[in-house]
Amino acid sequence: MEHRDTAAVAVFTALIIGSDFALYPLPNVKLLDMAVFVAAFVFGPKVGAAVAVLSETTWGFVSPAGSAGAILPFLVAGELLFVLAGYVASRWGGPGGVAAVSTRNLFFGGLLAICAFLWDFETNIVTGLLGGARTVPALMAYEILGIPFMILHEFSDFLLGALVAPPVIVYAWRTLARSSDAVGMARRGRIPPTGGR
């Protein structure tokens, strides 16, 4: 992993944990899923996976709700869906296919909502199994009881995916392009313009 990638993991993880604390009063509304998606889209699956694992594991221990306990590995595994989605989306569209404002951004929102649904479905089943449910009707009861939280999670992921992820991706690509140009100029012995000096 390059220094740039390590820095990206640190920045994304800090953003996620800080925003998790800030958004804690809102159930199932977090920047985690969107940020993991963006990290994988912009920096690739290794960075996205590192952000997902570090963020979900850290939150699993420091959350004001208490430790996640035995379900933590399943929360982390579910978060890797967003890594896969971000990476696959980057291969389909790439940076040139993303605009800060476009009706095509609904694709990102839909993709994040689908991942949120799968994450919720998986974690509700595991919660049921850990809670002692051993029959299909008992597991379905866990799914049904989770519907209000699932709807909020999927709706917030849709909005964050459609409205926030694309501008963040565009900004990240522009910043990386500028920093790559600056590194290239420095390697060729040229100093990039500093904007006023």
User: What is the percent of the chain with per-residue pLDDT over 90, rounded to a whole number?
Assistant: 74
For residue 183, name the pLDDT band (cuts at 50, 70, 90). Answer: low
Q: In the prediction, which pLDDT does 185 show?
A: 41
- Domain boundaries, given as residue ranges, for the chain: 3-179
Q: In the prediction, which pLDDT does 12 show?
A: 97
pLDDT tens for 30-53 read: 999 999 999 999 999 999 999 999
Q: In the prediction, which pLDDT does 137 show?
A: 95
Q: What is the mean pLDDT of the chain?
A: 88
Report whether pLDDT(191) > 50.
no
Least confident of 56-60, 95-99, 143-147, 167-171: 95-99
For the chain, how are helix, strand and coil distributed in percent, rounded to 5? Answer: 80, 0, 20
DSSP 8-state symbol, 71: G
Q: In the prediction, which pLDDT does 190 show?
A: 40
| In contact, 133 and 142? CB cutoff 8 Å | yes
Q: Smallest Cα–Cα separation from 19: which of 74, 58, 75?
A: 58
For residue 96, name the pLDDT band (cuts at 50, 70, 90). Answer: low
Q: Hey, what's the torsion of the CAs at 42, 48, 54, 59, to 10 degrees?
A: 80
| In contact, 37 and 85? CB cutoff 8 Å | yes
| In contact, 166 and 93? CB cutoff 8 Å | no
Single-letter amino acid, residue 172 = A
Residue 159 CA to residue 7 CA, distance in Å, equals 27
Question: What's the number of CA atoms in the CB half-sphere (13 Å) around residue 111?
Answer: 27
Higher-confidence residue of 70 and 97: namely 70
Q: In the prediction, which pLDDT does 158 show?
A: 97
Please state which of the four CATH numbers 1.10.1760.20, 3.40.50.300, 3.40.50.1820, 1.10.3720.10 is assigned to the domain occupying 3-179: 1.10.1760.20
Report whether pLDDT(87) > 90.
yes
